[in-house]
Amino acid sequence: KFEKEAAELGKGSFKYAWVLDKLKAERERGITIDIALWKFETPKYMVTVIDAPGHRDFIKNMITGTSQADC
């Protein structure tokens, strides 16, 4: 599904980023704007994937996202 949607917008290489990038602006521009979290458990671990912006215009959002990490 994501591969098809990304290809339709000429962003085929972003297909995996679209799992967490939900905003229309994120998909059109090919950058993460807001943080996104995805949690899942394995038999041994609880894992949280945090997608935080790296673009300089969204540093505040990046700090918010990375501050939620539990290393």
What pLDDT, on the 0 to 100 scale, is given for residue 60? Answer: 80
What pLDDT, on the 0 to 100 scale, is given for residue 10? Answer: 79
Phi, psi of 51 (to 5 degrees): -100, 110
- Tell me the pLDDT of the chain (71 aa) as tens digits: 777 877 887 777 766 776 777 778 887 877 778 778 888 999 999 988 887 777 777 788 778 777 877 76
- What is the torsional sign of CA 27, 33, 22, 48? positive
60, HSE (Cβ side, Cα atoms, 13 Å): 1
What pLDDT, on the 0 to 100 scale, is given for residue 31? Answer: 77
DSSP-based helix, strand, coil % in the chain, nearest 5: 40, 15, 40
pTM above 0.85, yes or no: no
What pLDDT, on the 0 to 100 scale, is given for residue 57? Answer: 78
The residues spanned by each domain of the chain are 2-66
